[in-house]
């Protein structure tokens, strides 16, 4: 069995998708457990002990979606700074824990939300526009 990681490392891996090397990759619970060399039950237990399970973090007014995006798009070499700042923000928000689940601004089924849909719509419009373009002799470009 693997040694239990520090709370900040559990947070970074499970919630932000950042592994010990600083690489970002979306991982579910099972993938995080494999990364740590333990079963998913053991990882879930560690997360619960640290108050970092999805339910516990969900009760904190902490913008996990924003920090996840920050970690995902951080330039190489700066992701550890993002993790440090996200961890500090979570620690600051924890005393404000709500009995009800806090409404986070991420839909895990549509992580880009309307942004992704709008980008796809603009791409389709641009493709249609380009397919109708002609040069001066009415020949397709």
Q: Give a yes or no: residue 1 inside a domain.
A: no
- How far apart (Å, rounded) are the C-alpha atoms in residues 70 and 100? 26
Residues 92 and 128 in one domain: no
Q: Please give the Cα distance from 58 to 124 (Å, whole number).
A: 36
Same domain, 74 and 40: yes
| Packed helices 64-73 and 79-93: angle between N→C axes, nearest 10 degrees | 170
pLDDT digits (tens, 9 = 90+) for 55-102: 888 888 888 888 888 888 876 667 888 888 888 888 888 777 655 555
18-38 pLDDT tens trace: 998 888 888 999 999 999 999
Please check whether residues 31 and 76 belong to one and the same domain.
Answer: yes
Q: How far apart are CA 12 and CA 72, in angstroms?
A: 11
Mean pLDDT, residues 42-48: 96
**pLDDT value, residue 75:** 61
Range of the domain at 127: 107-141
119 assigned to some structural domain: yes
pTM for this predicted structure: 0.61
Q: Are 99 and 127 in a shared domain? A: no
pLDDT tens readout for residues 103-125: 555 555 555 555 556 666 776 77
- For residue 2, being part of any structural domain is answered with no
The total of structural domains in the chain comes to: 2
Q: How far apart are CA 9 and CA 43, in angstroms?
A: 12
128 and 97 co-located in one domain: no
């Amino acid at each position: 069995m693997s040694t239990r990681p520090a709370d900040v490392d559990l947070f970074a891996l499970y919630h932000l998708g950042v592994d010990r090397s600083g690489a970002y990759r979306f991982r579910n619970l099972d993938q995080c457990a494999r990364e740590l060399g333990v079963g998913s039950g053991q990882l879930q237990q560690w997360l619960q002990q640290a108050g970092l399970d999805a339910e516990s973090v969900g009760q904190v007014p902490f913008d996990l979606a924003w920090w996840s995006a920050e970690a995902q798009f951080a330039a190489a070499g700066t992701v550890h700074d993002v993790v440090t700042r996200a961890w500090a923000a979570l620690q600051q928000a924890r005393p404000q824990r709500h009995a009800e689940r806090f409404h986070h601004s991420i839909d895990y089924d549509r992580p880009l939300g309307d942004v992704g849909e709008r980008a796809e719509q603009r791409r389709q419009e641009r493709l249609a526009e380009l397919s109708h373009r002609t040069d001066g002799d009415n020949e397709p470009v």
